Structure 1
């Protein structure tokens, strides 16, 4: 089943730890869609672990210069200086964590969860810094 990215209502997302500002003084924020929050909540419940968070990292590589890497991590193992934690403000406990360099490239984006014929995955959508991306959505390019 393919779920369109055109209707991605985002949950109210708050910064739980380590808020960041960009060079112009604007808050660096991301949104978490309802689907992503729901899937994170399901994973936490299945694992009986409310400490789980989705870590989103950007690294050099991929077919367009940068690639998104996603993994589950425990909030107790995060760096209070390096990591920013975003949490959906609905009591679910769904959290996304990013280091500062990744947040700089992803500010203004949405974290979504998609279900397609080839499988399901967390995905970054609406990245305002991306000038192009690959067909599968795992790598992107920015204007230099």
Structure 2
């Protein structure tokens, strides 16, 4: 006789399914889901759509902490793309409180006050990307996960896009 036979009769308890969202979309549609977008840009490949990015809660929380520490609610994470690096393009991530209304799109999370600024050429290369904040033993940093990137270097700073 199998000693585990009594355990086989126990039915597992089915837990209710919970939907967990790991990020909030920052869309260029004005005032979508508590987000305010300044200077939205149409997607050149689909003029009926707008270009957007995603900001994770971890990145949003870290940006809010930086704004609070510096006593500057206008401080924003500026993400730009420049030519260079070992794969053709490289990310430049900095903090800035300056926004050029003619060239920049400003993504503001109304819940936390976190702000991300992208210029138009960078937004075209980063549309659909996720901005996250990582903490590792070697340090912490904001990172960009770009779905348009076909390859990238080991450190994740430079990337390549097919057809460019």
| Aligned equivalent of 2:152 | 133
Name the larger-Rg structure. Answer: 2
Structure 1 position 80 matched with structure 2 position 101: yes
1:61-72 alignment to 2 at 5 Å? 61-72=84-95
| Aligned equivalent of 1:9 | 22
- Confirm or deny: 8 A CA contact 1:53 1:96 kept in the other structure: yes
Q: Deviations over 1:1-22 (max 9, x none)?
A: xxxxxx9811242352100011
Q: Which of 51, 54, 69 is the matching residue for 1:31?
A: 54
- Confirm or deny: 8 A CA contact 2:36 2:110 kept in the other structure: no
1:47 deviation in Å?
0.6
Q: CA separation in 2, counterparts of 1:64 and 1:101?
A: 18
- Confirm or deny: 8 A CA contact 1:20 1:28 kept in the other structure: yes
Q: CA separation in 2, counterparts of 1:53 and 1:81?
A: 17
- Confirm or deny: 8 A CA contact 2:63 2:76 kept in the other structure: yes
Tell me the TM-score normalised to structure 1 length: 0.88
- Match of 1:51, SS state, is coil
Residue segments in structure 1 that go unaligned for 5+ positions in a row: 1-6
Q: CA separation in 1, counterparts of 2:21 and 2:78?
A: 20
| Aligned equivalent of 1:142 | 161
Q: CA separation in 2, counterparts of 1:15 and 1:68?
A: 24
CA RMSD, 1 decimal? 1.5
1:78 deviation in Å?
1.3
Q: CA separation in 2, counterparts of 1:134 and 1:19?
A: 31
- List 4+ stretches of structure 1 deviating above 4 A: none
- Confirm or deny: 8 A CA contact 1:58 1:69 kept in the other structure: yes
1:105 deviation in Å?
0.2
| Aligned equivalent of 2:67 | 44
Give the length in aligned residue pairs: 134
Tell me the TM-score normalised to structure 2 length: 0.78
CA pair 103-8 structure 1, distance change in 2 beyond 3 A: farther
CA pair 30-15 structure 1, distance change in 2 beyond 3 A: farther
